[in-house]
């Protein structure tokens, strides 16, 4: 790498061409690229907080008994880890950062449909985040309910649950606003020739996700308000002694929170669908079926929330129906995996960092998805419900899937916006460390779960000690890889080799404009004449 050239980005790029200066040119900017970077650094900052909390949890579980903290601190730690990772990192992550950065350019637009609303969504997100963080240090201390805030415990605990759920409520509004903005943008602002059949698959995935955000998030909002009503007014909605129903809470919570898993994973699938053709030098296999599967996952995934409640006392018929519906989601998910693999078949594969993250996504997501079927089948779920198997499965899908796709997207798109790139060799080493560490960390958890170790327990039997130690060592390897990734990527974006407009040879529109992109993206509105993966049509060898 050439770590020298420190000249500023060219005039006219979105880095320079603003009416304001300093911090106000960012926090009051309505440019989708600046808002995208605001989101990126915000969500990634919270991701690092979540990682730190996760590492502390693993250190505590390294050996039986007390290691570094007491049980109350442990309860608070896994709750805050979950709330931060789910609500502050991965749900807003793709839409807010890469969705904002890339989507308007990919459809040939100058900005999103409602730029001010876009900025407002970031402000709401930050306000919610501040409220959630405030809940850790005020009132009765950090919430200790787990990120699911299950009743009746969340009604009765003396910790600061009310403020935390209020923060999540605010973040939910931010998510809805982003969803409305993206649906409107994709419907209304596509450039001439950018037909629905020429939309990049990342845009299709954002579109499907945006609908889930619009339709499901209000239900989370209502549910969180009901928790506050229970705690503050004592309404008895979930209290059987007063005619309430605790299972109703679980229904309401999972009606949102299961589709939320698809808010987390669908854009990641879009990223993978964009990366693989570029690094395999082949058009995507089965474009229409991937589009269909994105919409099908969004639709079918919204109907399966009951599989979180198989052991809660739900009716047998409902268990049967939800179990059946859960298996249906596997079909569109498998369509995607088969199409990605078919795209790779006989491709001219280039194993650079974005591609390595994309390939590991396929493997890790497949493991996460297949273990999900074990949980979706009522008979097997009863044996592994609320064990470490669930924790392992969930992390395979969300960290191995969405997380690795996020790292892939960072390596793939950030050089476009910074005009510089990272060093390849350290990036590959970082990926290898993370891949190995990840599997040691979470595969151990799944085996622990099969052996019967419950999740969320502070202490455990001595027979579980060796695998817990193994899992903790895996977390350190993963963390080492993450540190290397961060140092290499951000050092590269600041001091690395300059890149041209199309460093990877992509055929989507973002690669047709200068690097870094100009403030309004296109000098004049583009006319699209070829598909997003038609390299020959785009004149790319």
Residues lying near another protein in the complex (CB under 8 A): 187, 211, 214-215, 219, 245, 247-248, 251, 255, 302-303, 306, 313-318, 321-322
Contacts (Cβ under 8 Å, ≥6 apart) of 38: 26, 27, 29, 122
d(CA 19, CA 3): 31
Min separation Cβ 241 and another protein, Å: 18
Closest residue by Cα to residue 337 from 293, 371, 301: 293
Min separation Cβ 193 and another protein, Å: 20
Min separation Cβ 181 and another protein, Å: 15
- Closer to another protein by Cβ: residue 126 or 304: 304
Min separation Cβ 71 and another protein, Å: 34
Min separation Cβ 315 and another protein, Å: 4
Q: What is the 3-state secondary structure (H, E, C) of 453-475?
A: CECCCCCCCHHHHHHHHHHHHHH
- Closer to another protein by Cβ: residue 133 or 319: 319
Chain Cα centroid distance, residue 366: 16
Q: What values do phi and psi take at 498, rounded to 5?
A: -70, 145
SS3 192: strand
- Closer to another protein by Cβ: residue 181 or 468: 181
Distance set, CA 117 to CA 86, 173, 177, 287 (Å): 23, 11, 7, 32
Distance set, CA 235 to CA 167, 232, 243 (Å): 21, 8, 10
Chain Cα centroid distance, residue 460: 31
- Closer to another protein by Cβ: residue 158 or 313: 313
- Closer to another protein by Cβ: residue 186 or 268: 186
Work out the angle at residue 439's Cα, subtended by the Cα atoms of residues 433 and 444, and round it to the nearest 5 degrees.
Answer: 135
- Closer to another protein by Cβ: residue 299 or 499: 299
d(CA 203, CA 508): 11
Min separation Cβ 215 and another protein, Å: 5
Distance set, CA 343 to CA 279, 349, 368, 533 (Å): 10, 10, 21, 11
Q: How many residues does the chain have?
A: 541
- Closer to another protein by Cβ: residue 72 or 315: 315
- Closer to another protein by Cβ: residue 302 or 343: 302
SS3 505: coil
Q: What is the largest CA-CA distance in the chain?
A: 71
The answer to whether 159 and 246 are in contact (CB under 8 A) is no
DSSP class of 11 = T
Min separation Cβ 527 and another protein, Å: 21
- Closer to another protein by Cβ: residue 315 or 350: 315
Min separation Cβ 492 and another protein, Å: 43
- Closer to another protein by Cβ: residue 247 or 450: 247
- Closer to another protein by Cβ: residue 321 or 499: 321
Min separation Cβ 250 and another protein, Å: 10
Closest residue by Cα to residue 277 from 220, 212, 347, 226: 347
Min separation Cβ 316 and another protein, Å: 7
Rg of the chain, C-alpha, whole Å: 23
Q: Residue 144 corresponds to which tokens in the numbers above?
A: 């200790």
Min separation Cβ 386 and another protein, Å: 20
DSSP 113-182: S-HHHHHHHHHHHHHHHHHHHHHHHSTT-S--S-TT--TTHHHH--SSHHHHHHHHHHHHHHHHHHHHHH
- Closer to another protein by Cβ: residue 117 or 214: 214
d(CA 127, CA 219): 20
Min separation Cβ 531 and another protein, Å: 24
- Closer to another protein by Cβ: residue 109 or 129: 109
Min separation Cβ 255 and another protein, Å: 5
DSSP class of 199 = S
Min separation Cβ 188 and another protein, Å: 9
- Closer to another protein by Cβ: residue 252 or 272: 252
Please list, residue by residue across 401-438, b when 16 or more beta carbons sit within 10 angstroms of its beta carbon and e when fewer do. bbbbbbbbbbbbbbbbbbbbbbbbebbebbbebbbebb
């Amino acid at each position: 790498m050439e770590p020298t050239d420190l000249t500023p980005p060219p005039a006219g790029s979105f880095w320079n061409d603003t009416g304001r200066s300093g911090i106000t040119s960012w926090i009051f900017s309505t440019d989708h690229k600046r808002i995208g970077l605001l989101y990126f650094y915000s969500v990634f900052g919270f991701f690092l907080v979540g990682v730190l909390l996760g590492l502390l949890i693993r250190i505590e579980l390294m050996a039986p008994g007390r290691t570094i903290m007491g049980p109350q601190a442990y309860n608070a730690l896994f709750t805050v880890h979950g709330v931060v990772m789910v609500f502050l990192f991965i749900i807003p992550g793709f839409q807010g950062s890469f969705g904002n950065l890339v989507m308007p350019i990919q459809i040939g637009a100058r900005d999103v449909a409602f730029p001010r609303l876009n900025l407002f969504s970031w402000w709401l997100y930050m306000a919610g985040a501040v409220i959630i963080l405030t809940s850790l240090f005020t009132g009765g201390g950090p919430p200790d309910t787990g990120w699911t805030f299950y009743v009746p415990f969340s009604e009765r605990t003396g910790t600061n649950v009310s403020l935390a759920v209020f923060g999540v409520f605010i973040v939910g509004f931010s998510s809805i606003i982003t969803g409305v903005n993206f649906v409107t943008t994709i419907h209304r602002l596509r450039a001439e020739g950018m037909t629905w059949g020429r939309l990049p698959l990342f845009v299709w995935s954002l579109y499907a996700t945006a609908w889930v955000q619009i339709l499901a998030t209000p239900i989370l909002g209502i549910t969180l308000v009901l928790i506050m009503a229970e705690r503050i007014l004592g309404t008895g909605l979930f209290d059987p002694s007063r005619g309430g129903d605790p299972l109703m809470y679980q229904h309401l919570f999972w009606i949102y929170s299961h589709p939320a898993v698809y808010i987390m994973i669908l854009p990641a699938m879009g990223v993978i669908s964009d990366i693989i053709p570029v690094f395999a030098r082949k058009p995507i296999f089965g474009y229409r079926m991937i589009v269909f599967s994105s919409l099908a996952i969004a639709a079918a995934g919204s109907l399966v929330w009951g599989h979180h409640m198989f052991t809660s006392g739900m009716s047998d018929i409902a268990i049967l129906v939800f179990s059946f519906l859960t298996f249906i989601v596997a079909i569109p998910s498998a369509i995607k995996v088969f199409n990605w693999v078919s795209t790779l078949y006989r491709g001219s594969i280039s194993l650079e960092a974005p591609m390595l993250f994309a390939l590991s996504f396929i493997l890790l997501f497949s493991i996460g998805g297949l273990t999900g079927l074990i949980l979706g089948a009522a008979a097997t779920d009863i044996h592994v419900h609320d064990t470490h198997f669930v924790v392992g499965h969930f992390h395979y899908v969300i960290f191995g899937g969405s997380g690795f796709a996020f790292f892939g997207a960072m390596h793939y798109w950030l050089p476009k916006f910074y005009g510089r790139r990272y060093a390849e060799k350290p990036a590959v080493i970082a990926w290898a460390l993370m891949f190995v560490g990840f599997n040691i960390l979470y595969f151990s958890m799944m085996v622990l779960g099969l052996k019967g170790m419950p999740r969320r327990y502070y202490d455990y039997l001595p027979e579980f000690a060796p695998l817990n130690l193994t899992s903790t060592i895996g977390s350190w390897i993963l963390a080492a890889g993450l540190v290397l990734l961060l140092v290499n990527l951000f050092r590269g974006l600041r001091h690395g080799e300059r890149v041209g407009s199309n460093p990877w040879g992509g055929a989507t529109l973002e690669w047709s404009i200068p690097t870094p992109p100009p403030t309004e993206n296109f000098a004049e509105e583009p006319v699209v004449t070829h598909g997003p993966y038609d390299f020959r049509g785009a004149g790319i060898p």
